[in-house]
């Protein structure tokens, strides 16, 4: 995978040029951290959704899916803790007037120390060659140990300050670490204050009877408040899961890195209801299961890693992220959280309605514990898209940009290309297209030289190009060109469907 700031800029430009992602309201100069998906982007996004839904819901007999409303009763957000605790610590630089998340400033500082350690290790590895013992070096080298101790001390103090809601100490830490504003270079900071990330609006037409409501900041609460409805109507037996895909909204202070952090985004979440006491075992199960899901997409194992949380959210007794190596480094892609009975317990208390499960085997009732898997659809899109983006120099010295998307996720599975319009080739190509379009998203192109058409399909990640030429008129064979290898084979036109189907199948 290509890396670095320049590559990331090219990826963003490519996403726009080929109809994947546009800035929202672009003709009005855009709206910050809000994006629209274009013709190819929405197709890729739908395919990612479909893959998640099929593997989570269709492949698991004990997981069902729902689609709950974005608007919910305002007390939901009181019960969930979002009204009181869904805050980010915010700090402004007085000279640049730029606003930052205090935790991000500190984490960036820690990341620089990590980088120093890694450079030290790399230098030593180069010096000692094959005899290098990395573990021993990390545990004994004085400079590495000093930086490691600094990191541990910073994180310990920072977590303690946040837990005690001691924002003065968070500011003191930023000052002691001499963290400067990346824009102005100055260390002239305001106090740190909490900022609630939920968007609110009014429901009701007259101002006297309006009610303040929120745009949901996570889809999970729509699952919790429907727990009993689904359990009873679906006759679900614990352990079972409820899955949902839908929009979520957060008024992010620092929205950056394209679609990585947006103010309107989509989540794919699954809440798995288990017997109290069994949650840790299910947490480990879903951590591994979700990692396997990512690896199944064929992007390699080394672009993913776990990050276990030191600081747990108010609802969790264990939490980990699956991080992905984006062009700007390893960052969170998905969260797996053991949420205890916090949410169901809180909704039971605030609503006054029992949200319990009667276990027919033990004849006891309890509020189930929950293990959650939560992934950002847009973030998954960015992971797949940036990993797929490649620039290649071909044997003849020419360049091509290709999206090596997993074939089953590509917007178009097949492009049907008559070599030329005349001699009846276009008509024959239409015949092939009409036969395939019921089974696959197919593109049809007859303009420009065949090489240019191949390049255009490579750039949007179409895995197979079917070319209709004069020989097709004689023996009904076509060429099928594979995107990644660019190899072509001749097969009978009636074989195309079977061959493509086999290669893009989820089974594969
Ligand atoms: N229900 C749990 C929950 O919402 P989270 O860690 O806040 O947990 C889960 O969010 C996932 O949602 C993240 O791992 C990320 O992929 C995605 N996500 C969160 N905030 C986002 C944002 N502002 N823009 C895009 N994706 C976001």
Domain extents in the chain: 1-72+197-399, 87-195, 412-504
Nearest protein Cα to ligand 1, atom 25: 261
Average model confidence (pLDDT) across the chain:
94
Distance 461 CA to ligand 1 centre (A): 27
Distance 376 CA to ligand 1 centre (A): 5
Multiple choice CATH, 1-72+197-399, 3.30.300.30, 3.30.70.360, 3.40.50.11540, 3.30.930.10: 3.30.930.10
Residue 453 has pLDDT above 70, yes or no: yes
Residues with CB under 6 A from ligand 1: 218, 220, 250, 252, 261-262, 265, 267, 269, 332-335, 372, 374-376, 378-379
What CATH number should be reported for the domain whose range is 412-504? 3.40.50.800
Comparison of pLDDT for 99 and 346, the residue scoring more:
346
Q: Report residue 468 as tokens.
A: 């209709």
Distance 15 CA to ligand 1 centre (A): 22
The pairing of beta strand 318-326 with beta strand 200-203: unpaired
- Residue 250 CA: nearest ligand 1 atom is 23
- Residue 335 CA: nearest ligand 1 atom is 14
Residue 207 has pLDDT above 90, yes or no: no
pTM (global) more than 0.85: yes
* C-alpha dihedral sign at 190, 191, 192, 197: negative
Q: Report residue 181 as tokens.
A: 């504003």
As a whole number, mean pLDDT of residues 35-64 equals 97
Nearest CA-CA partner of 220 in 376, 382, 52, 61: 376
Model confidence band, residue 188 (pLDDT cutoffs 50, 70, 90): very high
Residues 6 or more apart in contact with residue 251 via CB below 8 angstroms = 195, 196, 197, 198, 199, 263
Nearest protein Cα to ligand 1, atom 16: 376
- Residue 267 CA: nearest ligand 1 atom is 12
Nearest protein Cα to ligand 1, atom 2: 374
Distance 267 CA to ligand 1 centre (A): 7
Distance 30 CA to ligand 1 centre (A): 23
Measured CA to CA, the distance from residue 137 to residue 130 in angstroms comes to: 14
Residue 231 has pLDDT above 80, yes or no: yes
Distance 508 CA to ligand 1 centre (A): 30
Quote the pLDDT of residue 451: 94
CB–CB of 11/386 below 8 Å?
A: yes
Chain segment 233-260, per-residue pLDDT in tens: 999 999 999 999 999 999 987 767 899 9
Measured CA to CA, the distance from residue 311 to residue 159 in angstroms comes to: 6
CB–CB of 82/217 below 8 Å?
A: yes
Residue 313 has pLDDT above 90, yes or no: no
Q: Report residue 376 as tokens.
A: 């950002």
Residue 206 has pLDDT above 80, yes or no: no
Q: What is the DSSP string of 327-359?
A: TTEEEEEEEEEEEETHHHHHHHHHH-----EEE
Comparison of pLDDT for 1 and 80, the residue scoring more:
80
Residue 209 has pLDDT above 70, yes or no: no
Fold topology of 87-195: Herpes Virus-1 (3.30.40)
Chain segment 319-332, per-residue pLDDT in tens: 999 999 999 999 99
Nearest protein Cα to ligand 1, atom 18: 376
Distance 325 CA to ligand 1 centre (A): 17
Measured CA to CA, the distance from residue 272 to residue 283 in angstroms comes to: 9
Chain segment 68-77, per-residue pLDDT in tens: 999 999 999 9
As a whole number, mean pLDDT of residues 493-501 equals 94
Kindly tell me the number of DSSP H helices and DSSP E strands found in the chain.
17, 23
Q: How many CB atoms lie within 10 A of CB 454?
A: 20
Testing ligand 1's pocket by substitution, the residue of 254, 379, 383 carrying the most ligand atoms inside 8 A of its CB is: 379
As a whole number, mean pLDDT of residues 485-489 equals 96
Distance 375 CA to ligand 1 centre (A): 6
- Residue 220 CA: nearest ligand 1 atom is 1
Measured CA to CA, the distance from residue 370 to residue 355 in angstroms comes to: 13
Quote the pLDDT of residue 311: 77
Comparison of pLDDT for 52 and 127, the residue scoring more:
52
As a whole number, mean pLDDT of residues 170-197 equals 94
Nearest CA-CA partner of 261 in 376, 344, 354, 347: 376
* C-alpha dihedral sign at 342, 345, 351, 353: positive
- Residue 334 CA: nearest ligand 1 atom is 14
Residue 508 has pLDDT above 80, yes or no: no
Model confidence band, residue 204 (pLDDT cutoffs 50, 70, 90): confident
Cα distances (Å, whole numbers) of residue 70 to 50, 51, 226, 264, 377: 21, 23, 13, 12, 16
Quote the pLDDT of residue 455: 96
Testing ligand 1's pocket by substitution, the residue of 245, 263, 376 carrying the most ligand atoms inside 8 A of its CB is: 376
Helix (H, G, I), strand (E, B) or coil at 397: coil
């Amino acid at each position: 995978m290509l890396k670095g700031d320049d590559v990331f800029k090219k990826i963003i430009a490519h996403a726009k040029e080929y109809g994947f992602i546009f800035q929202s309201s672009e003709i009005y100069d855009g709206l910050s951290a809000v994006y629209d998906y274009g013709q190819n982007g929405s197709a890729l996004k739908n395919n990612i959704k479909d893959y998640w839904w099929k593997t989570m819901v269709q492949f698991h007999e004990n997981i069902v899916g729902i689609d709950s409303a974005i608007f919910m009763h305002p007390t939901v957000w009181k019960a969930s803790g979002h009204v009181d605790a869904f805050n980010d610590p915010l700090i402004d630089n007085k000279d640049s007037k730029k606003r930052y998340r205090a935790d991000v400033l500190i984490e960036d500082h820690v990341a620089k120390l990590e980088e120093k350690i890694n450079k030290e290790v790399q230098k030593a590895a180069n010096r000692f060659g094959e005899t290098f013992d990395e573990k021993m070096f990390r545990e004994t080298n004085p400079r590495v140990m000093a930086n490691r101790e600094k990191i541990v001390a910073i994180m310990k103090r920072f977590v303690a300050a946040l837990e005690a809601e001691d924002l003065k100490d968070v500011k003191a830490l930023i000052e002691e670490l001499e963290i400067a504003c990346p824009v102005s270079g100055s260390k002239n900071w305001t106090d740190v204050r909490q900022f609630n990330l939920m968007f609110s609006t009014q429901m009701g037409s007259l101002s006297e009877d309006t009610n303040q409501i929120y745009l949901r900041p996570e889809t999970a609460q729509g699952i919790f408040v429907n727990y009993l409805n689904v359990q009873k109507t679906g006759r679900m037996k614990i352990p079972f899961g409820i899955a949902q895909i839908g929009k979520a909204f957060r008024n992010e202070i620092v929205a950056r890195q394209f679609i990585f952090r947006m103010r309107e985004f989509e989540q794919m979440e699954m809440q798995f209801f288990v017997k109290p006491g069994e949650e840790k075992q299910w947490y480990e199960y879903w951590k591994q299961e979700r990692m396997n899901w990512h690896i199944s997409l064929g992007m390699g194992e080394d672009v993913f890693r776990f990050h276990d949380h030191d600081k747990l959210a108010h609802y969790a007794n264990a939490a980990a992220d699956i991080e992905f190596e984006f062009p700007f480094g390893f960052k969170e892609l998905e969260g797996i959280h053991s949420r205890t009975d916090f949410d169901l317990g809180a909704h039971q208390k605030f609503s006054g309605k029992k949200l319990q499960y009667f276990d027919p085997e033990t004849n006891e009732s309890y509020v189930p514990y929950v293990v959650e898997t939560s992934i950002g659809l847009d973030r998954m899109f960015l992971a797949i898209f940036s990993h797929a983006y490649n620039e290649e120099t071909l044997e003849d010295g020419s360049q091509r940009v290709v999206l090596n998307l997993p074939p089953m996720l590509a917007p178009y599975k097949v492009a049907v290309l008559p070599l030329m319009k005349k001699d009846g080739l276009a008509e024959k190509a239409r015949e092939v297209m009409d036969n395939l379009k019921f089974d696959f998203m197919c593109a049809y192109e007859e303009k420009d030289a065949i090489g240019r058409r191949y390049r255009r399909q490579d750039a949007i990640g179409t895995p197979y190009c079917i070319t209709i030429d004069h020989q097709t008129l004689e023996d009904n064979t076509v060429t099928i060109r594979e995107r990644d290898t660019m190899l072509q084979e001749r097969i009978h036109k009636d074989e195309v469907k079977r061959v493509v189907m086999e290669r893009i199948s989820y089974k594969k």
